[in-house]
């Protein structure tokens, strides 16, 4: 979500650091927060609630990054295997 969008939802300006924290929680928290959820959370506990949610967002982000890296490595391994196998298939057809 854009900073201006967040500010419009919560009805007040936020600093860059505040926005970064709120957006990080919005993007990564495993509860899959909607924009209106963010506004509701702000109304309940302002920045403090996002500080409480940050560790879960950090962990979810870390896990998703690992998953992405593992998928990339699987793709490389599959490509390597296909290339390796193709050499034998080409030799068998000669």
Q: Report pLDDT digits (tens) over 22-44.
A: 999 999 999 999 999 999 999 99
Q: What is the pTM of this model?
A: 0.78
C-alpha distances out from residue 9 to 2, 33, 78, Å = 11, 14, 46
* In the chain, domain spans: 3-93
Contact 38, 11 (CB under 8 A): no
Distance CA 49, CA 18 (A): 12
pLDDT at 93: 61
Give the chain's mean pLDDT: 94
- Rounded Cα distance between 38 and 83, Å, is 48
């Amino acid at each position: 979500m854009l900073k201006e969008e967040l500010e419009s939802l919560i009805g007040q300006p936020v600093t860059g650091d505040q926005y970064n924290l709120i957006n990080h929680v919005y993007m990564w928290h495993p509860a899959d927060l909607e924009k209106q959820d963010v506004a509701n959370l702000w109304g309940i506990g302002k920045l403090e609630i996002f500080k409480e949610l940050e560790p879960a967002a950090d962990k979810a982000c870390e896990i998703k990054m690992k998953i992405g890296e593992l998928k990339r490595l699987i793709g490389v391994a599959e490509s390597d295997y296909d290339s390796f196998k193709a050499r034998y298939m080409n030799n068998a057809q000669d």
